[in-house]
């Protein structure tokens, strides 16, 4: 039995040929046009001598070129290696070498880094540059133009018959410790995860219009927005970078029905001063993931925009969706919901014992159809991460009496102060409840007598003031004596990654 992830688009193009698939600016592509470009890009890869099974890297923002390239690579039987667009030339070189990518497709805005990286790696034989308009970029000889390549290509009529367990995408982890590792996701991993999202988790039909502002190179944006929406025959409204005003304008213009984002995006929308100018009556569903959603932010957003944010949980290694609050059961604010169908969770304590009691804490281990086949070229890391089919997430959680899970914190983020376990997320929830605080993160810092001390890093809302003493006194009212922060840093803005997730590793230095 063969299965190719590009079948998601192929079937929608067959059934909904004339429906709009992509919107960006004044450009709209229907499904027939998108599928035609996908087949041309697949043919272009074959014309370059790229053989089925070889890897192609993408350094692209949320423009139509991403889905064209993504599904074109899959259609040709190749493997997609999406890269974070914020990478330096040195980091890009590492990723294309580590992934054995033979082609790099890059956006003009990242041309300097892409050119420098590709020239360092002789095994990456082709650089395809996307130029949206005439530019003064001087590319080395042999660099290919995306548009020219597509224009001269012979379409590849049929998608390559890959197997369900063949790798489809290699997603690199964030690399908070050591070098980033490539999670090998199979055609079945990604196909079923997208199908489950759009058919059972957040069911919809071809009338869905989704705002694609989550980076498509990220697992959340790829599966829950791009793949799930195109599988339905819905429309994607592409926004390369989050901006509250731009997001509101596009939601109104295209009558967006689904918004998927990370907590910082919801916070930005919630506090945008001119939000009331926009008509969001079409918005029926919002989903959050990628980082823990502060309960106060969720409740305020739900109330203000009369929507229901569903929060879920997953990782690159789980395709990514692993659990979610669902429409047919009560939502529990602060919970990541229930494991999705066919996926099992268990909680394991520091001694390796499975804990089953209500409220007991342990590391989440996951088993199911969504778990990656391994880390590319890293059998030792794979053996350490997946034991007897269970993937060890590094996230500490507890379970309530109805089976809902609650993330307490990342295992590596837990602070041990004077022998007591302190979970930063608990303190962050308290901080977000303060009316003067816009953003907050809690980390552990070395301490001579306690081992670690609790440090809060906060950004204040415009027009508000707060002293260290006032913040500490506030925390004392809500937290046990060993938990409240003794050290406070005030900053203008917390560092964030491309999805808007707060980067604690940068706060630790």
Residue percentage of the chain with pLDDT more than 70: 98
Per-residue burial over 288-319, b = 16 or more CB atoms within 10 Å of its CB, e = otherwise: bbbbbbbbbbbeebbeebeeebbbbbbbbbbb
Residue 64 near residue 132, CB atoms below 8 Å: no
Average pLDDT, stretch 452-456? 93
Residue 110 CA to residue 108 CA, distance in Å, equals 5
Average pLDDT, stretch 277-283? 96
State the pLDDT confidence band at 465, using cuts at 50, 70 and 90.
very high
pLDDT at 176 > cutoff 50 = no
pLDDT at 210 > cutoff 80 = yes
User: Which of 441, 455, 449, 456 minimizes the C-alpha distance to 419?
Assistant: 449
Own/partner long-range contacts of 303-309 (Cβ < 8 Å, ≥24 apart):
304/270, 304/275, 305/269, 305/280, 307/283, 309/266
State the pLDDT confidence band at 449, using cuts at 50, 70 and 90.
confident
Q: Is 272 helix (H, G, I), strand (E, B) or coil?
A: coil
In order of their start, the domains of the chain are: 7-185 (3.40.50.980), 242-410 (3.40.50.12780), 415-508 (3.30.300.30)
Residue 284 CA to residue 164 CA, distance in Å, equals 34
State the pLDDT confidence band at 135, using cuts at 50, 70 and 90.
low
Q: What is the pTM of this model?
A: 0.87
User: Which of 464, 461, 463, 460 minimizes the C-alpha distance to 489?
Assistant: 460
Give the model confidence (pLDDT) of 27-65 as tens digits. 999 999 999 999 999 999 999 999 999 999 999 999 999
Residue percentage of the chain with pLDDT more than 90: 81
Give the model confidence (pLDDT) of 285-336 as tens digits. 999 988 778 898 899 999 999 999 999 999 999 999 999 998 888 899 999 9
Give the model confidence (pLDDT) of 350-369 as tens digits. 899 999 999 999 999 999 99
User: Which of 369, 37, 13 minimizes the C-alpha distance to 194?
Assistant: 369
**How buried is residue 348: exposed, middle or buried, by Cβ count under 10 Å (0-12/13-18/19+)?**
middle
State the pLDDT confidence band at 477, using cuts at 50, 70 and 90.
very high
Q: Phi first, then psi: give them for residue 180, nearest 5 degrees.
A: -60, 145
Question: What is the distance of C-alpha 375 from the center of its chain?
Answer: 18
CA 146 vs CA 107, 124, 149, 269: distances in Å = 9, 16, 5, 35
Which region among 247-256, 372-381, 441-450 has the lowest average model confidence (pLDDT)? Answer: 441-450
DSSP string, 107-156: EGGGHHHHHHHHHH-TT--EEEEE-SS-----PPTTPEEHHHHHHTPPP-
State the pLDDT confidence band at 254, using cuts at 50, 70 and 90.
very high
Q: Work out whether strand 235-238 and strand 20-24 pair parallel, antiparallel, or are unpaired.
A: parallel
Residue 412 near residue 396, CB atoms below 8 Å: no
Q: Is 307 helix (H, G, I), strand (E, B) or coil?
A: coil
pLDDT of residue 1: 83
């Amino acid at each position: 039995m063969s299965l190719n992830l590009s079948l998601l688009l192929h079937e929608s193009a067959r059934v909904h040929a004339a429906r709009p698939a992509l919107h960006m600016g004044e450009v709209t592509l229907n499904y027939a046009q998108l599928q035609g470009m996908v087949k041309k890009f697949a043919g272009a890869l074959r014309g370059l001598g790229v053989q089925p099974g070889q890897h192609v890297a993408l350094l692209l923002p949320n423009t139509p070129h991403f889905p064209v390239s993504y599904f074109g690579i899959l259609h040709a039987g190749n493997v997609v290696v999406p890269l974070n667009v914020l990478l330096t030339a040195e980091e890009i070189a590492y990723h294309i070498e580590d992934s054995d990518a033979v082609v790099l497709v890059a956006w003009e805005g990242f041309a300097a880094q892409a050119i420098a990286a590709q020239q360092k790696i002789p095994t990456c034989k082709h650089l395809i540059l996307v130029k949206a308009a005439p530019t003064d970029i001087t590319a080395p000889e042999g660099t290919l133009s995306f548009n020219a390549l597509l224009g001269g290509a012979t379409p590849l009529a049929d998608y390559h018959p890959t197997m369900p367990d063949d790798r489809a995408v290699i997603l690199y982890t964030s690399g908070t410790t050591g070098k980033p590792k490539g999670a090998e996701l199979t055609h079945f991993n990604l196909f079923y995860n997208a199908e489950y999202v759009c058919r059972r988790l957040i069911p919809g039909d071809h009338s869905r219009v989704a705002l694609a502002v989550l980076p498509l190179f990220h697992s959340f944006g790829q599966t829950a927005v791009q793949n799930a929406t195109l599988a339905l025959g819905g429309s994607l409204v592409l926004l390369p970078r989050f901006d509250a005003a731009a997001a509101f304008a596009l939601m109104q213009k295209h009558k967006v029905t689904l918004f998927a984002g990370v907590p910082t995006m919801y916070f930005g929308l919630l506090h945008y001063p001119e939000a009331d100018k926009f008509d969001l009556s079409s918005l029926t569903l919002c989903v959050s993931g990628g980082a823990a959603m502060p309960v106060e932010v969720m409740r305020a957003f739900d109330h203000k925009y009369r929507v229901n944010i569903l929060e879920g949980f997953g990782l690159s290694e789980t395709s990514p969706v692993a659990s979610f609050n669902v429409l047919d059961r009560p939502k529990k604010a602060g919970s990541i919901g229930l494991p999705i169908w066919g996926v099992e969770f268990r909680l394991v304590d520091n001694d390796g014992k499975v804990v089953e009691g209500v409220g007991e804490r342990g590391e989440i281990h996951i088993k199911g159809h969504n778990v990656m086949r391994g880390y590319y070229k890293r059998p030792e890391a794979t053996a350490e991460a997946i034991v007897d089919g269970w993937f060890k997430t590094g996230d500490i959680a507890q379970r309530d009496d109805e089976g809902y899970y609650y993330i307490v914190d990342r295992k590596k983020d837990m602070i041990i102060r004077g022998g007591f376990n302190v979970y930063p997320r608990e303190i962050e929830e308290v901080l977000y409840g303060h009316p003067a605080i816009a953003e907050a993160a809690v980390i552990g810092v070395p301490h001579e007598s306690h081992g670690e001390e609790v440090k809060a890093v906060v950004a204040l809302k415009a027009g508000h003031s707060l002293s260290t003493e006032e913040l500490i006194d506030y925390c004392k009212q809500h937290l046990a004596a060993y938990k409240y922060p003794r050290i406070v840093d005030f900053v203008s803005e917390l560092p964030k990654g491309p999805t808007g997730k707060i980067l604690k590793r940068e706060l630790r230095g």
